[in-house]
Structure 1
């Protein structure tokens, strides 16, 4: 029988590449890029190209398990669902709705986020729902909200080929978003576009930069303020025109006076002339496209970084036109969908806010529940959920498609919190993971290609990832598990669905008239095309490539906001005991905590162990040689890796990948998060993974 090819969407980063999955005898045997797809046009990167082994890996979960006498033992689905539902009900009756929390990954489908929200916010009455979106994109969302009034990236991928300047901040896109990088590099070659890269490390991406601003970690606000200073001083800003579409230029101008390039150079470590050259390049640009990523958002000043970056495109009229604007790329495939469905503790479905009385009324009316059922105070962020586990205010945590025991910072504190849960339910595709090993109940879930649902990419493109093959054993789609638990808790009327398509049909109605309007989207329509850019209000609508082209923003006066933000140093500082700054990040060969990728032999062989990137001067001072095992320690713990001596990092900085967990309680620990700090941006509640004060030394033989 010939291979049957099925259209699907990549489950890794948020760029949203189109893929083709080849099926033979009921099994996926090959995955390739989809020619003609508007994101990747046939290109495929390392991760999806090597994903086939994930479907037949030995550690796939195939039966539910309940912990008894300290051991996880297989049980029937009926017993597992009844047990989870009854324990949740007991905890709610004893401790109240706020004692229940959900934490999910940002690779769940739009439909799954909707069911999680409806269950915990609309039925249980708790706002304690979080996702790994909090860990990567919460600051971008808050930045957009405060600058333009909505969490809505206005630009699109088609702008790449029309830009004359790319401003790339806080990411090595060459390895984390290869399809995007390929398009940027091609545009640079063909169109003679310029490239500015802001990154504390030299990387594959900085290799194409005309200007690399190698700043000290966490100093982006000072840099952006200084670029604004030069733009205003040297006449690149039409202040009268800017005032028509943006408020605050007077206050921003006053603040920028405090950030001449000389001062910014002292703060950032960048040469003064290089800052001036970058500002002039921005000022001369006719179509500047700005990309920023987790390097921006993993900071205690992350929202201010976003605001000051937005100031640059507003000052130079580089938005809402071909080739220009801000375009934040999400780290996981449905991080934007998660936010638009309300998958964070301060949000409600359809780009609504928990704290807004009108929004609560609209959602309550839609769900047919009393308004007072929707709590008016935002719930706990994921870090606050862990604090609640420590204090006893949170008693039960349901983890869905996430691995918080490895992904969250300050691992020992996280593990201590998880161990105090009266009920820890973990729903995933593999066991063991760092988190399933701690669970009271483990539920086997179907994964990508084994279930249906929609993803929304970073350019607001909604696509269908259809079911192509059956899941193994007794594994069930997450949607089905969610509605089974909800019904067992007594919410049969609220959860009448029989398919993800039913769920989508309900959810899209609550997006009517919103920027995320999906009422023109159907599964049938998505099966026949390569996605639709939202908003799409009716079935005849072609989708919306760019937002706010009329220069009207969803703020009270219709204008965007130029926001003057003072630079503040990172909350944690280096000292004699911990004299190095640790930066964490991604590799080409793995994704997040490696739950999927470490089970793929080819990827594991290419990157089997963690490493520590060290500047040659620092290595010489510590008598560390390439390949030596080294220890990285902070006030929170110690981890290890092999030394990679490289000029990629600044002196005094070290870099470790985030993908290695496993032995987190012994001397062989390789998990970077054992030493990272759990300080958060006060506005976005996003942790600061990119600045931790650590010590470094050569490991001693046992």
Structure 2
């Protein structure tokens, strides 16, 4: 099934390569041109430039400029590895895949199909994500499949489904941002996470927009704000209640929109009538006047957009917190028209598409529900199986790790993810993977998770494989490559097809190209909420990208604007939902007096498996660190730059200190891109949002002590 044609070459043998960045959800287009190396140098140099496109408009950030470097790393996996006598050693593909298939067959015979788990990733292409879901349900028959996007978009996705009837990251287009006269950025640091989008916001500001940033840190994004609400972590839902109180009291709502296009407002109105703005101010740590100012600015603006991201969503009430911001959108009628809407700022490269086509435990392709009989019939017909053969709903990503720890899942395949670092309560995850019967990992590098595996499969990178990805605004993009895969690396979808054949299910996986998989995905998604049927590779080549839903190849170009006339619920109406104001799931006490939050850096991506192998990116942040306020540092006898230990009820980690007055005194911030002893998730809470199973990454309570004093306390 190898598909390396004579047209495929190495990067240095081509005049240039056009591709798109493998990192964040903007999916910027890139041109990489090799240069003749200077005399005396050993490595070729490359010119990297952005290609004009509808999302980034030709811009690149530092990650995109250096995204080619990790492909050339000497740490790149080029051959399969299997564990023998406790060591990972080189093996043939036949031996490696044989070990996996033999284990799957044996485990299924002894313990049933549900003793096998599959764990995917939000950076996989739509084709690989689709095939992973099909592989789980058809080749293995297991219900246990989920992916790391559970830690990214699940709160916003579930909130969008409940409020609008469908989840799509942005209900408007990026081009609507400069048209907005008020923009709320809640828990999102776009300047570091999606930096090529910042010019949209600066243009909005030039056009007179009032920008409000909600964040416990004074980030680079907060620097452009007209009003920075530096709230206590975990109090976003309460803040939204306070702003709703002002909107209703000041009669800044849209009664016509509420009456004609929504339901449930009376219950919300009754709930908000009991809200006391003084109580909200005390709970959030904000001035009552600032809450009032923010609400009035949004309410009075002719157009407005609210964006949320992980700061709001990665909490155990993330689902309802997002719903409360959506209550604000609906109450003011700021949706379904130019310059208005809501946006969940997707983090991972294919965070949107990755959750639409079946690698999430409760979903089938096209955003269909695995519990819905009609949805099961449709997908089963496309796959050529009886609907009764489809397993039911599994559990979320972290809950899978708990099942691994309890030895209920005995065999696990991880593809495109690093759960040892990305999960909360990381020590429990590592303990579970250490005792699992069999662990196989498909990755480009020997990640912290791959180091523990029984079999490691080397996979191709973004310059070496074809496929589609769906960016943060719901635009499906085609990423093509003609570079030869190095060594013995194989595509994710090839690996799944070969394993399926060895499991006796090869007839369901006859694919010889990514395009062939996409064509089946189109049929499987047809008629679903995320309908890709009208999108083809040829159309993507001609148009540069197509928004979903796109139900027909003859339907013209979808506008990208959602909910212009109706919402996706059966009655066409959006739904209000009263949300209580509450404290975070953990509150500081004498033993753990500070609140720990985490997030991203400009130079790194996810758990750093790729970016830490890029010399230019790794050099920007060699070690992890913790941000703390000068008065907090003085209280705990911490000097700038010294190593400290942070401890919670789950575990501890060690990082360097970085003292700054741009953070609240009661709050600590640590980036999420490092593993081992510098892994912030050793301390984060495993408590999950009951609606979407998002862990509470942002509000763990901790203690901090200089490492020089750690043994003396």
Deviation, 1:113, is 0.9
Partner of 1:497: 511
State how far apart, in whole Å, the 2-side matches of 1:463 and 1:192 are.
32
State how far apart, in whole Å, the 1-side matches of 2:557 and 2:454 are.
45
State how far apart, in whole Å, the 2-side matches of 1:621 and 1:102 are.
46
State how far apart, in whole Å, the 2-side matches of 1:53 and 1:11 are.
12
Partner of 1:181: 198
Partner of 2:424: 409
Deviation, 1:28, is 9.4
Deviation, 1:541, is 3.6
Which stretch of the first structure deviates more once superposed, 3-12 or 173-182? Answer: 3-12
2:35 maps to 1:4: no
Partner of 1:631: 645
2:106 maps to 1:98: no
2:155 maps to 1:144: no
2:167 maps to 1:156: no
Note the alpha carbon deviations across 1:554-594, whole angstroms, 9 max, x for none. Answer: 21321000111112322222211111100111111111111
Which stretch of the first structure deviates more once superposed, 448-457 or 632-641? Answer: 632-641
Partner of 2:464: 450
Please tell me whether the aligned partners of residues 116 and 412 of structure 2 are also in contact (alpha carbons under 8 angstroms).
yes
**Alignment RMSD:** 1.7
Indicate the SS of the match to 1:242.
Answer: helix
Please tell me whether the aligned partners of residues 28 and 469 of structure 1 are also in contact (alpha carbons under 8 angstroms).
no
Deviation, 1:547, is 4.1
CA 631–2 in structure 1, closer or farther in 2 if over 3 Å, else same: closer
CA 426–681 in structure 1, closer or farther in 2 if over 3 Å, else same: same
Partner of 1:276: 292
State how far apart, in whole Å, the 2-side matches of 1:295 and 1:314 are.
22
Please tell me whether the aligned partners of residues 380 and 390 of structure 2 are also in contact (alpha carbons under 8 angstroms).
yes
Which stretch of the first structure deviates more once superposed, 670-679 or 271-280? Answer: 670-679
Note the alpha carbon deviations across 1:515-566, whole angstroms, 9 max, x for none. Answer: 4222232222322332111122333444323344443112132100011111
Q: 1:353-392 alignment to 2 at 5 Å?
A: 353-376=369-392, 378-392=393-407
Indicate the SS of the match to 1:563.
Answer: coil
Of the three residues 312, 331, 340, the one matched with 1:324 is 340
Indicate the SS of the match to 1:642.
Answer: strand
State how far apart, in whole Å, the 1-side matches of 2:244 and 2:504 are.
57
2:26 maps to 1:15: yes
Of the three residues 320, 330, 339, the one matched with 1:314 is 330
CA 445–18 in structure 1, closer or farther in 2 if over 3 Å, else same: same
Please tell me whether the aligned partners of residues 304 and 565 of structure 1 are also in contact (alpha carbons under 8 angstroms).
yes
State how far apart, in whole Å, the 2-side matches of 1:57 and 1:542 are.
44
State how far apart, in whole Å, the 1-side matches of 2:97 and 2:638 are.
53
Please tell me whether the aligned partners of residues 578 and 693 of structure 1 are also in contact (alpha carbons under 8 angstroms).
yes
Please tell me whether the aligned partners of residues 121 and 354 of structure 2 are also in contact (alpha carbons under 8 angstroms).
no
Deviation, 1:605, is 1.5
Note the alpha carbon deviations across 1:605-625, whole angstroms, 9 max, x for none. Answer: 111011111111111111212
Normalised to the residue count of structure 1, the TM-score between the two structures is 0.96
State how far apart, in whole Å, the 2-side matches of 1:345 and 1:269 are.
38
2:107 maps to 1:126: no
Indicate the SS of the match to 2:266.
Answer: helix
Normalised to the residue count of structure 2, the TM-score between the two structures is 0.94
State how far apart, in whole Å, the 2-side matches of 1:684 and 1:245 are.
26
CA 622–398 in structure 1, closer or farther in 2 if over 3 Å, else same: same
Of the three residues 512, 520, 528, the one matched with 1:514 is 528
Please tell me whether the aligned partners of residues 135 and 687 of structure 1 are also in contact (alpha carbons under 8 angstroms).
yes
State how far apart, in whole Å, the 2-side matches of 1:574 and 1:543 are.
52
Please tell me whether the aligned partners of residues 8 and 464 of structure 1 are also in contact (alpha carbons under 8 angstroms).
no
Deviation, 1:240, is 4.4
CA 450–35 in structure 1, closer or farther in 2 if over 3 Å, else same: closer
State how far apart, in whole Å, the 1-side matches of 2:563 and 2:129 are.
30
CA 446–154 in structure 1, closer or farther in 2 if over 3 Å, else same: same
Please tell me whether the aligned partners of residues 120 and 132 of structure 2 are also in contact (alpha carbons under 8 angstroms).
no
Please tell me whether the aligned partners of residues 32 and 42 of structure 1 are also in contact (alpha carbons under 8 angstroms).
no
State how far apart, in whole Å, the 1-side matches of 2:433 and 2:186 are.
34
CA 194–2 in structure 1, closer or farther in 2 if over 3 Å, else same: farther
Of the three residues 574, 578, 581, the one matched with 1:560 is 574
Note the alpha carbon deviations across 1:486-533, whole angstroms, 9 max, x for none. Answer: 111111110111111110111111222334222232222322332111
Indicate the SS of the match to 2:652.
Answer: strand
Partner of 2:619: 605
State how far apart, in whole Å, the 1-side matches of 2:311 and 2:45 are.
36
State how far apart, in whole Å, the 2-side matches of 1:123 and 1:310 are.
40
Which stretch of the first structure deviates more once superposed, 122-131 or 268-277? Answer: 122-131
Note the alpha carbon deviations across 1:432-483, whole angstroms, 9 max, x for none. Answer: x211110010000001011111000111111111123112100001111111
Please tell me whether the aligned partners of residues 81 and 485 of structure 1 are also in contact (alpha carbons under 8 angstroms).
yes
Deviation, 1:404, is 0.8
Please tell me whether the aligned partners of residues 139 and 503 of structure 2 are also in contact (alpha carbons under 8 angstroms).
no
Partner of 2:7: none
Please tell me whether the aligned partners of residues 25 and 350 of structure 2 are also in contact (alpha carbons under 8 angstroms).
yes
Note the alpha carbon deviations across 1:195-251, whole angstroms, 9 max, x for none. Answer: 011111111111111111111111011111111111111111133431211101110
2:436 maps to 1:421: yes
- Alignment length, in residue pairs? 692
Of the three residues 543, 551, 566, the one matched with 1:537 is 551
Q: Which runs of 5+ in 2 are unaligned?
A: 1-11, 37-42
2:278 maps to 1:267: no
Please tell me whether the aligned partners of residues 31 and 48 of structure 1 are also in contact (alpha carbons under 8 angstroms).
no
Of the three residues 693, 697, 701, the one matched with 2:705 is 697
Q: Which runs of 5+ in 1 are unaligned?
A: none
State how far apart, in whole Å, the 2-side matches of 1:478 and 1:123 are.
15
Partner of 2:225: 209
